[in-house]
């Protein structure tokens, strides 16, 4: 027992030290550039390289500490989880510029401007100079619950520091409330997988991606559903989906969890659909400008170039194999996107089609397993998580590490050894392409870093494919703990 406690304390120290170093790097980036903006605002090569070394070291410590905590989840994780939340709450934008786009959309919407059907209002926002060049002409692709969630930024005027504080306060209050409920209702492994996860801390409370709100709503829905408040759980699920559509696969859990008869299974489909439709009407009503309010964001998502995905990597590999030079990192964003469509478009179409077929096959296999064991709550949770990961890593033509947060709550409920090992690998590697934002576009190591890190992530997407998707034995799935730890 003494040795186990000492091991846990060592893992906790590594975890906290790693998180502190990562947070310190965000302030170092600000000191090196003079601004919290990320896109088109890079440190010098010397400063950026030094920050990269420290960031990699901090990230390694953070992931190693988490690995230990995942194998030996703390029985009382509240103190550690809140310590991590406090440290990450001081993190500045470092690996993504998305928060400034959120400020622009939220502020414009708070003043009655349309951000869904047209992007013309962006040029009149005080946040327009803060938006990355790649996104200057883009409509808001986030759902209405996210848009409402970012409106507190309007209180800050054009002050980025006040806006960051306002958004953190607005988001951390419901987060802490849901965490408190989760600590009382869900098993220790859930907290190790979700609240102590380095990916969650970096991309959620740290970089303020709206997926944080989706995880909060999904977790609230899980707790409500498990307590028998089924319809309230569906509403919480609706909040997540209407914030970001990548949370849609979570619907499998709310549909199949604790259904007892075929009739109940069939009736839940129109019932959940009705809840989503009503919520959609209510939530979109303040922003409605006609069908384009929904159609334009969907069109923008579909038209976006692949990035960070298997499709993206395949396009580049085929391009290089044809004897053509890889793209330069210092080319203006709009020109680079146009050239990429010209060079890789045909490959993207073929690879994307094949991957969607594969995803349909995976979904059929996973759903079959879920239906065969209607009373196995672990199989329902694991299947839902697997569906979410398949959609995010295979079917989607774009990938960013924070997309994976949509699957975390379900793997917190049930996990196998194969999935646990995969999560450790994907958490460790999926954020590394973003580390390139610490380097200027002319840095010598940038092309190699970007190519190797992105390719490594694409490889992780397909490793242990059979064990994760095809050979899962629900009898070996342990609720709230990996199978090895359960034994």
What span, in angstroms and rounded, lies between the C-alpha atoms of 197 and 67? Answer: 9
What pLDDT is attached to residue 375?
A: 79
> What is the model's pLDDT at position 340?
76
Mean pLDDT of the residues in the chain: 92
3-state SS assignment for residue 443: coil
Nearest to 178 by CA among 98, 89, 248, 81: 81
Alpha-helical runs (H) found in 391-435: 408-413, 417-430
The predicted structure's pLDDT at residue 482: 42
Cα–Cα separations (whole angstroms), residue 77 to 140, 188, 191, 310, 484: 37, 7, 7, 36, 20
H helices, E strands: number in the chain: 21, 2
pLDDT above 90: percentage of residues in the chain: 80
What is the distance between the alpha carbons of residues 235 and 447, in angstroms, rounded to a whole number? 45
Return the closest-CA partner of residue 392 out of 303, 480, 297, 311: 311
Residues 295-342 pLDDT 10s? 999 999 988 889 999 999 998 888 788 877 777 666 676 777 788 788
Phi, psi of 145 (to 5 degrees): -70, -35
Contact 432, 453 (CB under 8 A): yes
Residue 471 near residue 386 (C-beta atoms within 8 A): no
Sign of the alpha-carbon dihedral angle for 408, 410, 414, 416: negative
Q: What is the mean predicted confidence (pLDDT) over 271-287?
A: 97
Name the 3-class secondary structure at 138.
coil
In order of 5, 6, 349, the CA distances from 9 in angstroms are: 6, 5, 50
**How, if at all, do strands 414-415 and 478-479 pair?**
antiparallel
C-alpha span between 33 and 455 (Å, rounded): 29
Q: What local confidence, expressed as pLDDT, does residue 487 receive?
A: 29
Taking 80 as the threshold, does the pLDDT of residue 239 lie above it? yes
Q: How far apart are CA 212 and CA 204, in angstroms?
A: 5
Q: Directed axis angle between helix 98-110 and helix 160-185, to 10°?
A: 100
pLDDT at 484: 38
Which residues partner with 479 through β-bridges? 414
Instruction: Point out the least confidently predicted range of 1-15, 137-151, 339-353, 372-386.
Output: 1-15
Which pLDDT band holds residue 477 (cuts at 50, 70, 90)? low
Weakest-pLDDT range from 139-143, 197-201, 314-318, 398-402: 314-318
> Is the pLDDT reported for residue 291 higher than 50?
yes
Contact 65, 14 (CB under 8 A): yes
Give the end-to-end CA distance of the chain in Å, rounded to a whole number. 17
pLDDT for position 303: 87
Report whether pLDDT(7) > 50: yes
Phi and psi at 209, nearest 5°, equal -80, 140
Contact 428, 63 (CB under 8 A): yes
**Domain extent listing, the chain:** 2-486
pLDDT tops 50 at residue 485: no
pLDDT at residue 478 is higher than 60: no
What pLDDT is attached to residue 473? 56
What was the pLDDT predicted at 486? Answer: 34
pLDDT beyond 60 at 229: yes
**For residues 205 and 168, what is the distance between their CA atoms, to the nearest angstrom?**
8
Q: Does residue 146 have a pLDDT over 80?
A: yes
pLDDT for 415 equals: 95
Radius of gyration of the chain (CA): 22
User: What is d(CA 419, CA 408) in angstroms, rounded to the nearest whole number?
Assistant: 11
- Quote the strand ranges of 311-390, DSSP E: none
Of 186-190, 320-324, 376-380, 460-464, the poorest mean pLDDT is in 320-324
Secondary structure (3-state) at 127: coil
C-alpha span between 246 and 244 (Å, rounded) = 6
d(CA 188, CA 307): 35
The residue count of the chain comes to 487
Q: Between 265 and 392, whose confidence is greater?
A: 392
Q: Within 13 A of 352's CA, how many CA atoms are on the CB side?
A: 17
């Amino acid at each position: 027992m003494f040795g186990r406690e000492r091991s846990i304390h060592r893992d906790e120290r590594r975890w906290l030290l790693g998180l502190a170093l990562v947070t310190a790097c965000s302030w170092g980036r600000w000191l090196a550039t003079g601004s919290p903006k990320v896109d088109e605002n890079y440190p010098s090569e010397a400063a950026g390289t030094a920050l990269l070394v420290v960031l990699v070291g901090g990230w390694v410590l953070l992931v190693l500490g988490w690995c230990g905590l995942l194998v030996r989840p703390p029985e009382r994780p509240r103190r550690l989880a809140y310590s991590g939340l406090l440290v990450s709450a001081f993190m500045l934008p470092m690996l993504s510029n998305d928060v400034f786009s959120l400020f622009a959309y939220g502020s414009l919407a708070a003043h009655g401007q349309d951000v869904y059907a047209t992007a013309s209002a962006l040029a009149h926002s005080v946040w327009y100079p803060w938006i990355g060049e790649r996104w200057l002409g883009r409509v808001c692709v986030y759902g209405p619950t996210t848009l409402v969630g970012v409106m507190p930024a309007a209180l800050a005027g054009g002050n980025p520091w006040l806006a960051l504080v306002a958004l953190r306060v607005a988001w951390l209050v419901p987060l802490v409330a849901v965490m408190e409920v989760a600590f009382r209702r869900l098993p220790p492994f859930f907290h190790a997988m979700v609240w102590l996860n380095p990916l969650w801390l970096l991309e959620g409370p740290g970089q303020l991606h709206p997926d944080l709100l989706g995880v909060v709503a999904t977790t609230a829905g899980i707790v409500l559903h498990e307590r028998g408040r089924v319809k309230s759980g569906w509403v919480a699920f609706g909040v997540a989906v209407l914030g970001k559509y990548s949370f849609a696969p979570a619907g499998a859990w709310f549909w199949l969890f604790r259904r007892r008869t075929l009739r109940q299974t069939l009736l839940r489909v129109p019932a959940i659909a009705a809840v989503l439709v009503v919520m959609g009407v209510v939530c979109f009503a303040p922003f409605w400008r006609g069908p384009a309010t929904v159609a334009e964001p969907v069109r923008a998502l579909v038209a976006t170039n692949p990035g960070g995905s298997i499709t993206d990597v395949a396009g580049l590999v085929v391009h290089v194999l044809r004897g053509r030079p890889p793209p330069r990192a210092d080319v203006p964003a709009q020109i680079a996107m146009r050239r990429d469509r010209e060079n890789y478009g045909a490959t993207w179409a073929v690879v994307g089609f094949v991957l969607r077929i594969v995803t349909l096959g995976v979904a059929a296999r996973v759903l079959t397993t879920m239906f065969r064991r209607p009373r196995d709550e672990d199989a329902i949770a694991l299947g839902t998580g697997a569906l979410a990961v398949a959609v995010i890593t295979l079917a989607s033509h774009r990938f960013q590490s924070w997309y994976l947060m949509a699957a975390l709550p379900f793997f917190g409920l049930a996990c196998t050894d194969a999935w646990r090992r995969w999560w450790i690998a994907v958490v460790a590697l999926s954020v590394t392409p973003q580390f390139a934002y610490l380097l200027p576009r002319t840095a010598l190591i940038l092309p190699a870093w970007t190519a190797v890190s992105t390719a490594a992530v694409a490889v992780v997407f397909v490793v242990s494919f059979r064990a994760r998707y095809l050979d899962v034995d629900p009898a070996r799935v342990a609720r709230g703990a990996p199978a090895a730890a359960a034994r």
